[in-house]
Amino acid sequence: MFWNIYWKRILWFVRNTETIIWTWIFPLMLATLFYAVFTNIDASGQFSRMPVGVVDNGAYRQDAAFRAALESVSGEGDGSLFDLRLLPSQGEADTLLEKGEIDGYILVEDVPVLIVSGSGLRQTITKSFIDRYLQTKGAVEAVILRGGDFESVSAFLEPADYTEEISLSQNPPTEKVGYFYALLAMVCLYGGFQGMTTVTGLQANLSPLGARRTMAPVGRFRMVAYDMLGGVTTQYMCLLVIVAYINFVLGVSFGPKLWLVLLTCLAGSLLGVAFGAMISVTSKLKAQAKIAVLITVTMVCCFLSGLMVSGINYTVVQNAPAVAWLNPAARIADAFYCLYYYDTYERFFLNIGIIMAMTTAMLAVTAVFVRRQRYESI
Amino acid sequence: MKVFKTCNTIIKRRITAMALYFLIFLALTVIMPILTADQHTLDFFEMKPNFTVINRDGDTPLSEGLAAYLGARGNKVVLDDRLETLQDASFYRATDYIIILPQGFRDAFFSGGTVKIKTVATTDSAKGFYVDMLINQYLNQARFYGSPDGMGEEALAAAVIRDLSAETRVETKRFGAGAPISTGFLIYNRMLSYMVIILIILCVSNITSAFRRPDMRMRNLCSPLKPRSMSLQQILCGVLVSAAVWVSLTVLGFIMYGSELAAADRRTVGLILLNTLVITLLALSVASLVSSFIRSANSQNAAANFVSLGLCFLGGVFVPLDLFGEGLLMASRFTPVYWYSTALDNIFALTSFEWGVMAPIWQAMLTQLIFTAAFFCLALVIGKHINQSEKSFSSVQTELDA
């Protein structure tokens, strides 16, 4: 009996194009799109040489110290800040600024003035450089006025580097992986289609198959369990294919422990199937309405787990921790994140524990509703 | 106008589902700009990176002075000194830069030792570079005073901050006729294209799929109404639905960003509206084409999601085109939404209304219209082919069959 129900459940999935589209093809398409557009997302905040102009007027030519300071941080070498362009007139500088070819330009009058057309980090860094020049110049002049020696002045001219960059994890932080983990959480919750199918196929008032099965000489609990196991198996297969595609084809890292990734997929599949079964069994809506509820709840959970806006899951944790801990999609995505970024496994197993607790609670609710159902008329 | 009236009846019957879709996508369109837009002001302002100071050296005037100096140029994010907390904040960009003052730093600094401040930032990030600059500037200035024995450490820290208060004068040049438009409105308009495409596909396919039911088609084909008239009335309904979507979203945009648009040049706002109108026409043509292939309610949902997400991801709606690689950028040129995003970016960067500056905008809008015409033609050809096919009379499912 087990193999009969179990195998037919798997066959149903293979023959059901719509479920394959939603749980298989749609995530694969989204993963490919994510890969295509998020590949360079980490480069968005990276530092690169800034095109900055300087008006080559008499005051600039006479200010040898400023000229030397600017030239020392311009050019092609390491530590270079600016792609410096000497401009013959302010009119020329304005033209380049208007076209967006330079981030700003420096006009030396009594002191250097920065002229920009907007605000941004590049303009802020340029301003900070000129600030630094003015501050250093002021300090050196103060030292000389006080009759300071060469050693005091050299402290400004040869600045020391007091910082040393360290990493908090063996894997680098990247915005890209968060989208993929939230996508996998979405696929897990799409396992709800499997749970919904199980319930629909067992309830006499929802489908002809359910009516026939209700009369079958098999215990209800065994029928639900076998059918649901078939649903979990197909869901798990979907997840394995998608994880393999994301990991091996798209090259997105899941950290060193691949077997723990598989464990997370299994826990996520169980949760998804239980989630769909619970939604299906507790409401008396039509099948289409139940699907709409399932998709809506899934999308809200996935939105809060970072599927559409990177880092929103962190914001939710900071501002509404209860919502974050009760969000199944956030727990699944967080489990993947822990495997990637943490060197320890406490929070990972805490996530898995919560996922399993949610699954148990959802299955218990489903059992309460499915148990001893009788139909006066269908 | 019997067909048109029937279309209205279909819309009324499915108004709940359409309203649900509208509200879900509306929420996304409203939330996304709020979460991702930058500060909007006409004057120059310094960008303030988020930074965190983890002080393992105890509170000293030197470290407090450093925190105060950075606090004036950035936003201080307070975090616990726990590895997990710091990892989360760093990974999710809650803080751009973590400064860990190691034990004994103060003593080593004043004695000329080599204990360095540990920093955590995204590799090669511009914000990290900026905060690095600020820290070194503060400490190099403090180094100038040497030992605090003479003046006291608090006075030293105060003197350093005073020394570092000299600032450059910054002038902001405005080249356009009006004030610049906020990035929030730019992101809203980007998201608008996604919403317009998915909503119009869902609405139009809902209407047309009812007419493509085999029994309905056979009945209509033997009615005295000409097929052309039936098609035109369906198109008219599609146009009105599209217009309703466009007007709703445009009005919502003005409600949300009206105050910021008040000072903007009217011509720029007009161009933005024109561009959104063009993408609405394009969405209608895409919907006509996609509707030809829709067989059931589920395939309608799948098609709407696949087409809208595919077009919008490749068209630079969710991620700016600047971040695309060369190959992807080349591929995205063959999608219509790319031209919508390009036109939008150019409109927001407008500094004058001369022909040379406006040409790329007109070109991008014209390309969208060419795509629109091509999709309409393709939809007509496919529609004609399907009408002549015997199979079409038994391949459409609606809720009545389910």
Q: Do A130 and B168 touch (CB under 8 A)?
A: yes
| pLDDT given for residue B83 in this prediction | 92
| pLDDT given for residue B306 in this prediction | 84
Q: Render pLDDT for B22-52 as a digit per residue (tens, 0 to 9).
A: 787 778 777 777 766 555 555 677 888 999 9
Q: Render pLDDT for B100-134 as a digit per residue (tens, 0 to 9).
A: 999 988 888 888 777 889 999 876 788 888 899 89
Mean pLDDT value of segment A11-15: 85
Confidence of residue B402 (pLDDT cuts 50, 70, 90): very low
- Residue B196, min C-alpha distance to chain A (Å): 18
DSSP H helical ranges for chain A = 2-15, 17-20, 26-38, 58-62, 64-72, 90-99, 121-145, 150-157, 175-190, 192-200, 208-214, 220-244, 258-282, 287-304, 312-319, 321-326, 328-341, 346-370
Question: A133-137, A308-312, B357-361 — which is least confidently predicted?
Answer: A308-312
Q: Do B87 and A341 touch (CB under 8 A)?
A: yes
Please give the share of chain B, as a percent, with pLDDT higher than 90: 30
| pLDDT given for residue A271 in this prediction | 96
Shortest CB distance from A135 goes to which of B17, B166, B323?
Answer: B166
- Closest-CA residue in chain B for A168? B87
Give Dmax (Cα) for chain A.
Answer: 105
Confirm if B265 and B178 have CB atoms less than 8 A apart: yes
| pLDDT given for residue B320 in this prediction | 82
Mean pLDDT for chain B?
A: 84
Please give the share of chain A, as a percent, with pLDDT higher than 90: 33
* pLDDT higher than threshold 80 for residue A5: yes
Mean pLDDT for chain A?
A: 87
**Cβ of residue A61 closer than 8 Å to a chain B Cβ:** no
Q: Render pLDDT for A195-235 as a digit per residue (tens, 0 to 9).
A: 888 888 887 777 788 888 888 888 878 888 899 999 999 99
Partners of residue B116 in chain A, C-beta under 8 Å: 161-164
| pLDDT given for residue A260 in this prediction | 94
Distance CA A88, CA A56 (A): 5
Sorted by sequence, the CB contacts under 8 Å of residue A274 that are 6+ apart come out as A195, A358, A359, A362, A363, A366
Please give the residue that has the higher pLDDT: either A14 or B360: B360
Confirm if A40 and B325 have CB atoms less than 8 A apart: yes
- Residue A47, min C-alpha distance to chain B (Å): 4
Query: What is the CATH topology of the domain spanning B50-163?
Result: abc type-2 transporter like fold (3.40.1710)
- Hey, where are the domains in chain B? 2-40+176-394, 50-163
Burial of A224 (C-beta count, 10 Å sphere; 0-12/13-18/19+) = buried
**Cβ of residue A262 closer than 8 Å to a chain B Cβ:** no
* pLDDT higher than threshold 60 for residue A243: yes
Task: Pick from A29, A30, A37 the residue to mutate for testing the B interface (most B CBs within 10 Å).
Answer: A37
**Cβ of residue A20 closer than 8 Å to a chain B Cβ:** no
Mean pLDDT value of segment A234-261: 92
| pLDDT given for residue B162 in this prediction | 87
Task: Pick from B44, B139, B160, B333 the residue to mutate for testing the A interface (most A CBs within 10 Å).
Answer: B44
Six token digits for residue B5:
């009236």
Confirm if B4 and B236 have CB atoms less than 8 A apart: yes
Out of 3.40.50, 1.10.10, 3.40.190, 3.30.70, the CATH code matching A48-157 is 3.40.190
- The segment with the largest mean pLDDT, out of A369-378, B8-17, B96-105, B383-392, is B96-105
Partners of residue A29 in chain B, C-beta under 8 Å: 306, 309-310
Please give the residue that has the higher pLDDT: either B260 or B390: B260
Partners of residue A168 in chain B, C-beta under 8 Å: 83, 86-87, 90, 98, 120
Mean pLDDT value of segment A333-341: 94
Across the beta sheet with A50-55, what order do the strands follow? A82-87, A50-55, A104-108, A112-116, B169-172
Shortest CB distance from B44 goes to which of A116, A155, A162?
Answer: A116
Question: A329-333, A334-338, B1-5 — which is least confidently predicted?
Answer: B1-5
Please give the residue that has the higher pLDDT: either A146 or A70: A70
Tokens 């993947």 sit on residue: A336
- Residue B166, min C-alpha distance to chain A (Å): 6
| pLDDT given for residue B38 in this prediction | 59
Partners of residue A161 in chain B, C-beta under 8 Å: 116, 136
- Hey, where are the domains in chain A? 2-40+173-370, 48-157
Distance CA A126, CA A113 (A): 11
Q: Do B297 and A296 touch (CB under 8 A)?
A: no
